[in-house]
Structure 1
Amino acid sequence: MPTTSRSSPTPPMPATDEDPTDASLIAASRTDPERFAVLFRRHAQEIMRYVTRRLGRDAAEDIVAETFLVAFDRRPRYDVSRPDARPWLYGIATNLIRRHRRAELRALRALARSGVDPVTEPFTDTVEDRVHAGARSRVLAGAIAGLPAAQREVLLLVTWAGLTYDEVAEALAVPAGTVRSRMNRIRRKLRDALAKEDHDG
């Protein structure tokens, strides 16, 4: 993966004739399947980073490959009124990750013990600096591991995938209000975990 100073995915550039939207690529791939390869080149790397963080490198390659195979099979049903396919792709990846709950919890518990993120430090950004700061990193990782799965998915799609609340709602096929209420509960739990650490420390 190329070195960069930020881990948040770069938003797609505005489409031009030379840079078509995801939706137009998917539409074109229905009659010209090779066009789908452009979608893979455009998004596979950021989804790989996301899945690696959740499951570790061993499972990530298989999950990403399967994500795009599923997307390819489902492309006739894609809603081409949605120009950005990232929420759709992250939704597929999230469904596949659900089969690997134990691996995800192992990765989070390893982070809780060591404070070492499975994705290299050059990808950190200011939002996540708090998650990578020594003991606080371990406390937060432990608290994230203890979240209900539905809350953990929302949190990691927002913080690690960089999706908006509306995009997370689209990815998970839930109302945007559900995403907001889950994030409110998550914030309270993480604040409580950090406050307890500060008090005990």
Structure 2
Amino acid sequence: MYDRYARAVFRYAAGRVGNGHADDIMSETFLVAFERRESFDITIGDARPWLFGIATTLMRKHSRVEAKAWKGLVAHGAAAVPDDAIEAIGSRIDAEFAVKAIAAALRKMPTRDRDALLLYAWADLDYEGVAQALQIPVGTVRSRLNRARRTLRAASHRGSTPDQEVEHGRNNVAAETA
């Protein structure tokens, strides 16, 4: 099981708490999974929802680490955005604004909504998989994802750059004056 799912658990944890703590979360996840191996239904086949559920619970226990990671992302922005070409500067500024706005929204989002969203988006689970991981009904997953998406949409609009707003304004003004 470790060989099959360790990389996926690591990627999910790294996305939430950073590479430095992802190894610890991954190790703890498989330790807990081994201790609770009798609770896994082998007829399901895919252990990802079960493992991601364990990892999510562990990250909740280490929530200070995750909160610090989100704050760092808000403070430092999108460091991985390329800046080697003149054309990339505008894209980088746009990306930094968007990343900061979305990271801030994720940090402030209720834990239950953030967990559902990140299991769906980063762990690549479907609604049923998220429901299994969090041990909640599928309808609750849909509600939490809907709230999370609305929050992120609002944040992405707040994270637009002044140039984007001016450009949209110019297009609208030109249409109105014509």
| TM-score, length of structure 2 as denominator length | 0.78
5+ unaligned residues in a row in structure 2: which ranges?
82-93, 166-178
* Residue matched to 2:76: 114
TM-align CA RMSD = 2.0
- The answer on 1:49 being equivalent to 2:11 is yes
- Cα–Cα, structure 1 residues 137 and 68, in superposed 2: closer, same or farther, change >3 Å? same
- For 2:27, give the aligned amino acid: A
- The answer on 1:172 being equivalent to 2:134 is yes
- The answer on 1:154 being equivalent to 2:116 is yes
Aligned to 2:62, what secondary structure does the other structure show?
Answer: helix
- For 2:23, give the aligned amino acid: E
- The answer on 1:97 being equivalent to 2:62 is no
Higher helix fraction: Structure 1 or Structure 2?
2
How far 1:66 moved relative to its partner? Answer: 1.2
1:143 to 97, 101, 105: 105
Alignment of 1:64-83 (within 5 A): 64-83=26-45
Structure with greater contact order relative to length (CA < 8 Å, sep ≥ 6): 1
For residues 79 and 170 of structure 1, the distance between their equivalents in structure 2, rounded to whole angstroms, comes to 11
Aligned to 2:123, what secondary structure does the other structure show?
Answer: coil
How far 1:58 moved relative to its partner? Answer: 2.5
Q: Size of the alignment, in residue pairs?
A: 151
% identity of equivalent residues: 44
For residues 88 and 197 of structure 1, the distance between their equivalents in structure 2, rounded to whole angstroms, comes to 35
For residues 198 and 55 of structure 1, the distance between their equivalents in structure 2, rounded to whole angstroms, comes to 26
The answer on whether the counterparts of 2:70 and 2:107 sit within 8 Å (CA) in structure 1 is: yes
Residues 124-174 of structure 1 show CA distances to partners (whole Å, capped at 9, x for unaligned) of: xxxxxxxx9321111101111010111110111111111111100000000
Aligned to 1:133, what secondary structure does the other structure show?
Answer: helix
The answer on whether the counterparts of 2:49 and 2:125 sit within 8 Å (CA) in structure 1 is: yes
For residues 142 and 158 of structure 2, the distance between their equivalents in structure 1, rounded to whole angstroms, comes to 24
- For 2:124, give the aligned amino acid: G
For residues 55 and 23 of structure 2, the distance between their equivalents in structure 1, rounded to whole angstroms, comes to 11
Residues 57-92 of structure 1 show CA distances to partners (whole Å, capped at 9, x for unaligned) of: 222212111111111121122212211111000011
How far 1:198 moved relative to its partner? Answer: 3.1
Aligned to 2:109, what secondary structure does the other structure show?
Answer: coil
- Cα–Cα, structure 1 residues 58 and 196, in superposed 2: closer, same or farther, change >3 Å? closer
